[in-house]
Structures are given as C-alpha cells and as structure tokens.
Amino acid sequence: MDTPDAKITPWSLKPARMNFRALLSLGSGSVIASFYIGTGDVTIGANMGALFGFKLWWTYLVLGIAGWALIDMSVRYFLRFGRTPMAIFKDIHPALSVYMFVAIIVCATFGAYSQWAACAMVISGFSPSVPIELGGAIAALSGLLFLLLGAYKRLETAFVLGLLVLIVCFFASAIMAGINAREAVAGLIPQAPGDGWEALFSSNAGSMINAWLILIYPYTMLERGWFSNSLQGKVNILHRARIDYAWGILAAGLVALPIMAAAAAVARPFGIVPRGYMDLSILLEPLAGPWSTYLFLGGLFVAAWTAGVGWWLCGAYALLDIFNLPIKLDSKPMRTLLILFFIPSTLLLVLRVNPVYQMLIFSAFLALVFPVIGLAMLYRITRKDMGYFRWSLGSPQGVALIGVDLFAIALSIYAGVYLGWVKFGDIFVSR
C-alpha cells in the first residue's frame, strides 16, 4: 500500500540539531552496553591481551559497525510502523513466535545465571567465607529488587553511573599494571597478528553481533515515548537514537582496552593465557599490587551485575511483547515475569549446574537465534512498504546503509554458525 512517506525521496530529510538538553536525555545506550560488557566479554578481552597485546582492538570497531547496523534496522522498522521487531516474527509464521518464546526463556535464564555466578565469584574473592550460592543469590536478589522498585528513568540513570564506575575501575587497575598507549593506538589498525586470532575474532563476533540487541532498543524507546507521527519527527528521533546506541557500542571497545592492557602487562610476558576473568584478577596482585586486583574485581562485579539485570530486562520485555501486554517496567505483568526469571536463575546457582551443560544449551540456542533474527530483519527491511526508511540507491547515505545492513546480516549468520558448529563442537571435543 502506498503511503505519503513513500513519495518522499528516502534519506533526503535532515534531522534537527540536538541541543545540550537532548544530549543529556541519552541513556539507553548504557543499557545496551550492559549486553556488550559481561563476563564473557571480559574473558575475551583478557585472552586477546594475553596472546596478542592490543593487536585485536580493531575487531571492536569492525564488529561494532555491524552491531550498530542491527540495532538501526530494528529502530527503522519501529519508527516506520510503530511496532516492535517481535511483530516481524509473529507476521512471518506463528511457529516463530513459539520458537522465540522458548529461546527467550532459555537464553535470558542462562545468560543471567552466568552473570550472577560471576558476581558470586567476586564476592568470594573479597570475602572467602561467603559461599558461592549465597553470594550469587545476594547479587540476583539485589538485581530483582532494583527492577521491582525502580522506574525506567531511574534504571537508565543507574546504568549510566554503573558504566562510568566500571570504566574507571578497569582503567585504574590497568594503569597500575601499565598501559602502552602507542601500542594501543596501533591496535586500531586491522591486522592478523598470528595463529589463533581468528578464533578470538569469531568469539568476539558472537558477543558483539548480539541478536538480542535488536529486540531491546525499541522497548527502551517505548518507555521513553520516543515516537512521532510526523516524518520529520521520526527522522529527528532516529538521529538521536543512533547517537545513543553508538555510545553503548563504543563503550564495549573502550572497556576492552584496559582489560587487554592488564592481560598484556601481567600475563603475556610469561606466556600465560587466563582461562577466565578470575585468573586475570589473581595474576594482577603480585605484579601490580592488591589495589589493582580490588579495582578489577570491582569493575567485574558491576559489569556482571548490570549484564544480569540486562538479560532479565530484555527477556521480560520480549515476553510481554509476545503476549501483547503493556511494555512498561513498572507494570504488574513485568514484575511477575522478573520474579519468574529470578527463581530458575537462583536455583541454577544452588544446584551448581555444570558450566559445560550450560554452554551446550546456551550455544545451541544462540546459534539458531542469531541467523534467524538476522534473516528475519533482512526480509522485513527490504520490503517496499518501509516507505521513507526503505533501502535506496538514490543517495550516498542510502548506499552506505545497504552496505552496513548486508555486512551486519552476514556477520550475524557467521556468528551463529561459529557458535553452533565450532563452539558446540569444541565443547564435545574438550570432554
């Protein structure tokens, strides 16, 4: 069906300039950053630093472009139709809604569980007498209470502050260990530093090309009331949103720098490759001092806690969407869903589920989720009814947008294949 928007040349309108007050309203990018900066991302950064120093820092820039494009596709769809990306799956086939329902429950539960387990490790690091189960339960309960008692605006403020705190902690820890600024800058130049870099690039792709980010950002726009019925208003909102989630993605690369620096300083000279985030914290103390370890653990706790809250938040939003319930953090259905996510996540801590089994289930679902979401988005945004926001070769901006969209979809499929076949296979081989 033809619409008034379709008669206007795509990408021909200029957004209004943002004033200082509008810049201060940005905050959802920090919620997005919580997905990019979790325990798995800390481990990837530590391995990169231990093996190659800063030589893989460029991967965050390249993969960040793809992550930005995936979010941008969902926002364009939302602004065009006023519908969230979950509607795409409902429209394609009802079976996809069932699939997404199962995938959301599994991924949000196990994703949050791994973060609460990391919080528990940090608590035990500061106070060894606290059992792992108790430390994880305390972290999870505090996250639940925070979500149950807070309004969305308060959540954004907390995430902005949390992001600043973890950046300060990680950088302070790395400065004590030593940062080579010249090598760090050189790490922004794409290069293949040696054997094994492809596996780290692929692991980072699985983290940065996070298909769940397609789902969550439009929910934050609904919470903020970021929508307009006028085309110019939509163009202005898209401009503002692009700056917002670009900041969230940029934060991931910024946080990776001190983690790589710390690993390069305390692990690489001795040929040690940390198996996880706690290994790096142990290596820091004898070489950089106890305060370097304390700061690193503090940053790790904030990263894990915000990521755990982020997993629950995205999962609950998506389930509300599937069942056509109001997308509101302070609604009764949302609070009920958060409690329902809290129960299994905490039980997994008490049961001490073998991490191998967790990774098997988690990798299997993510391997399917990434390409399914990516291909569904490609199917939807290429249709002519996207109006002003459709693909177009009529301008440099339109051509560039098509390029980054295709790049993002290709990488999302690649990330899914890597998680499904390589990672999944490695788990069986290692056993």
Give the pLDDT confidence of 180-208 residue by residue, as tens digits: 889 999 999 999 998 989 888 888 887 78
- CA-to-CA separations, 27 to 34, 123, 211, in angstroms, rounded: 12, 28, 20
| Res 320: pLDDT | 94
φ/ψ bin of 390: left (φ > 0), alpha (ψ from -120 to 50), beta (otherwise): beta
User: Using 50, 70 and 90 to split pLDDT, how confident is the model at 355?
Assistant: low
Q: Do 113 and 358 touch, CB atoms closer than 8 A?
A: yes
| Res 361: pLDDT | 62
Average pLDDT value for residue range 251-257: 90
Q: Is the pLDDT score of 270 beyond 80?
A: yes
- Separation CA 320–CA 333 (nearest Å): 7
Within 13 Å, how many C-alpha atoms sit on residue 128's CB side? 0
Q: Do 248 and 32 touch, CB atoms closer than 8 A?
A: yes
Average pLDDT value for residue range 209-227: 83
| Res 429: pLDDT | 45
Q: Is the pLDDT score of 103 beyond 90?
A: no
User: Using N-to-C axis directions, what is the helix angle for 58-81 and 212-224, rounded to 10°?
Assistant: 50
Instruction: Specify the range with the lowest mean pLDDT, choosing from 18-27, 120-129, 147-156, 309-318.
Output: 18-27
Q: Is the pLDDT score of 362 beyond 70?
A: no
Kindly report the pTM of this predicted structure: 0.90
Average pLDDT, the chain: 86
User: Using 50, 70 and 90 to split pLDDT, how confident is the model at 95?
Assistant: confident
Average pLDDT value for residue range 376-388: 89
| Res 32: pLDDT | 75
Instruction: Specify the range with the lowest mean pLDDT, choosing from 22-36, 165-179, 408-422.
Output: 22-36
Task: Name the helix (H) or strand (E) containing 120.
Answer: helix 94-126
Q: What is the pLDDT of residues 58-81, one digit of tens each?
A: 999 999 999 899 899 999 999 999
User: Using 50, 70 and 90 to split pLDDT, how confident is the model at 428?
Assistant: very low
Instruction: Specify the range with the lowest mean pLDDT, choosing from 73-77, 104-108, 294-298.
Output: 104-108
Residue 263: name the closest of 41, 48, 40, 39 by CA: 48
Q: Is 11 helix (H, G, I), strand (E, B) or coil?
A: coil
Q: Is the pLDDT score of 423 beyond 60?
A: no
- Separation CA 273–CA 178 (nearest Å): 18
Q: Is the pLDDT score of 327 beyond 80?
A: yes
| Res 106: pLDDT | 85
End-to-end alpha carbon distance in the chain: 56
Greater model confidence, 33 or 285: 285
Average pLDDT value for residue range 90-108: 85
Q: Which residues of 98-107 are buried (b: 16+ CB within 10 A; e: fewer)?
A: ebbeebbbbb
| Res 356: pLDDT | 53
- Separation CA 75–CA 245 (nearest Å): 11
Average pLDDT value for residue range 268-272: 92
Q: What percent of the chain has pLDDT over 90?
A: 48
| Res 119: pLDDT | 94
| Res 2: pLDDT | 47
Within 13 Å, how many C-alpha atoms sit on residue 395's CB side? 13
Q: Is the pLDDT score of 264 beyond 80?
A: yes
| Res 350: pLDDT | 80
Instruction: List, in order of start, the domains of the chain with CATH numbers.
Output: 4-430 (1.20.1740.10)
- Separation CA 211–CA 374 (nearest Å): 7
User: Using 50, 70 and 90 to split pLDDT, how confident is the model at 360?
Assistant: low
Q: Which residues of 417-431 are buried (b: 16+ CB within 10 A; e: fewer)?
A: ebbbebbbeebeeee
Greater model confidence, 47 or 359: 47
| Res 206: pLDDT | 76
| Res 100: pLDDT | 85
